[in-house]
């Protein structure tokens, strides 16, 4: 494997680091840097004179993000981050005392706090326990919880990360949605740890709500993300930040009728962050050009190679490498402090994270097999 599906020349970070922390914050590719510089320079030199052009660019970005997620552009809104999208669902739905939400344990805080906050409204939040060392979430765990809730009035919503942030377990999203809908429950997926790497088809999977920042596997800037609302669910969410951009007559400021746009744009209240939107668009275009099938095949191979090498060192791989595998490989070295292991490899130029009781490694499509071999060699020579 000498070539990578994403050109390494797009990632100057390679000159300084072995960057293996895309489950944290990704470095920007040159394409995104140039797109951000272009629009910033235009605003410096022309102010709002070219605003119509940037609005058109914004819609092209929406279409690119929709293609990446497998949805219609009309069902996609721009948000600041994943947390905002989750909040739009948690606080935009109509709740009554006794409604039930199912959410896994060990989720990222922003993926669980919006649901826990509903307890003050009398909503019951059922936290299900992942299984085993990999924190697996097989469909049977959700089936048991949904069946239990049938005897207590049913479940209104199942909320979960498609890919768990700490040890990387990937849910079988289509089966989860099919199961939940059979019990009359909607599904809200945080897809930030999969979108941009693993082929995604939210509309085909019948997901009700989904959201993701751009700054992880989508390789985009921080502070911009996307929020998917299936058209059949649009009327179920009350827009929480209505503004001039939310209405169907957004260019007629004299018209004060609150007539929401008939697309997901109703969830976009005010002026857009065109700078980060353009950066995200450039990064997504790189991904679409490479193809998520190719990216996923490449990273899956890197992750398998890493897991095999770690096993040869006597390390414990905490991530599932079977049906629940993702781009995340988290490991622990018996007898060694996890932070110490991470610090040692950082001293050798490897950017990783400490998560889920281990060292989390998350390569992308420009990382090479040689880098994985170098990481294994660094761990071996550290005499852990």
Domain boundary among 288, 316, 333: 288
Burial string for 100-110 (b: 16+ CB within 10 Å, else e) reads bbbbbebbbeb
12 with 70, same domain?
Answer: no
Residue 221 is classified by DSSP as -
What integer pLDDT is reported at residue 382 of this predicted model? 80
359 with 236, same domain?
Answer: no
Domain boundary among 288, 323, 347: 288
Domain boundary among 241, 262, 288: 288
277, 61 contact by CB (below 8 A)? yes
259 with 134, same domain?
Answer: yes
118 with 261, same domain?
Answer: yes
290, 68 contact by CB (below 8 A)? no
20 with 96, same domain?
Answer: no
What integer pLDDT is reported at residue 141 of this predicted model? 98
**What CATH number is given to the structural domain containing 329?**
3.90.1150.10
**Within a domain: 89:** yes
Domain count within the chain? 2
DSSP secondary structure letters along 105-154 = TT--HHHHHHHHGGGGGT-EEEEEPPBTTTTB--HHHHHHHHHHHHTTT-
Q: What is the end-to-end Cα distance of the chain in Å, rounded?
A: 29
> What is the mean pLDDT, run by run of 10 residues, along the chain of 384 residues?
87 98 98 98 95 93 98 98 98 98 97 98 98 97 97 97 98 98 98 98 98 98 98 97 96 96 96 96 98 98 98 97 97 96 96 98 98 96 73
Domain span holding position 81: 40-288
**Within a domain: 34:** no
**Within a domain: 167:** yes
- Which two tokens mark 226? 């996307």
**Within a domain: 2:** no
What is residue 21's three-state secondary structure? strand
**Within a domain: 191:** yes
198 with 270, same domain?
Answer: yes
146 with 281, same domain?
Answer: yes
Cα(36)–Cα(61) distance, integer angstroms = 13
Q: Mention every residue, 6+ apart, whose C-beta is less than 8 A from residue 64.
A: 281, 284, 285, 288
- Which two tokens mark 40? 């910033």
What integer pLDDT is reported at residue 223 of this predicted model? 97
**Within a domain: 35:** no
**What CATH number is given to the structural domain containing 204?**
3.40.640.10
**Within a domain: 1:** no
284 with 347, same domain?
Answer: no
158 with 281, same domain?
Answer: yes
219 with 234, same domain?
Answer: yes
152 with 297, same domain?
Answer: no
- Which two tokens mark 323? 């049906």
Q: Mention every residue, 6+ apart, whose C-beta is less than 8 A from residue 194.
A: 162, 163, 170, 200, 217, 326, 327
280 with 309, same domain?
Answer: no
What integer pLDDT is reported at residue 1 of this predicted model? 44
């Amino acid at each position: 494997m000498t070539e990578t599906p994403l050109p390494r020349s797009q990632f100057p970070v390679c000159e300084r680091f072995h960057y293996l922390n895309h489950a944290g914050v990704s470095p920007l590719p040159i394409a995104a840097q140039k797109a951000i510089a272009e629009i910033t320079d235009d605003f410096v030199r022309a102010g709002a004179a070219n605003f119509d052009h940037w609005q058109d660019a914004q819609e092209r970005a929406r279409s690119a993000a929709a293609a990446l997620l497998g949805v219609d552009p009309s069902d996609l809104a721009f948000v600041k981050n994943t947390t905002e999208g989750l909040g739009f669902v948690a606080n935009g739905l109509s709740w009554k005392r006794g409604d039930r939400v199912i959410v896994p344990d060990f989720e990222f805080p922003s993926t669980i706090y919006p649901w826990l906050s509903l307890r003050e409204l009398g909503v019951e939040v059922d936290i299900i326990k992942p299984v085993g060392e990999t924190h697996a979430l097989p469909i049977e765990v959700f089936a048991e919880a949904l069946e239990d809730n049938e005897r207590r009035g049913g479940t209104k919503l199942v909320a979960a990360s498609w890919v768990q942030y700490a040890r990387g377990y990937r849910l079988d999203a289509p089966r989860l949605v099919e199961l939940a809908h059979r019990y009359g429950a909607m599904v809200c997926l945080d897809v930030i740890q999969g979108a941009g790497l693993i082929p995604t088809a939210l509309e085909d999977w019948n997901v009700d709500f989904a959201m993701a920042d751009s700054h992880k596997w989508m390789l985009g800037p921080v502070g911009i993300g996307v929020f998917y609302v299936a058209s059949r669910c649009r009327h179920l969410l009350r827009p929480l930040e209505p503004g001039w951009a939310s209405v169907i007559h957004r260019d007629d400021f004299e018209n004060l009728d609150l007539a929401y746009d008939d697309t997901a744009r109703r969830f976009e209240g005010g002026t857009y962050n065109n700078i980060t939107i353009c950066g995200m668009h450039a990064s997504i275009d790189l991904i679409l050009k490479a193809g998520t099938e190719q990216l996923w095949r490449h990273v899956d191979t890197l992750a398998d190679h890493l897991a095999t090498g770690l096993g040869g060192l006597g390390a414990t791989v905490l991530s599932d490498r079977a049906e629940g595998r993702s781009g995340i490989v988290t490991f622990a070295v018996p007898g060694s402090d996890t932070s110490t292991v991470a610090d040692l490899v950082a001293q050798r130029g490897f950017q990783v994270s400490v998560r889920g009781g281990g060292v989390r490694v998350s390569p992308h499509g420009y990382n090479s097999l040689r880098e994985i071999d170098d990481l294994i060699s660094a761990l071996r020579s550290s005499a852990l």
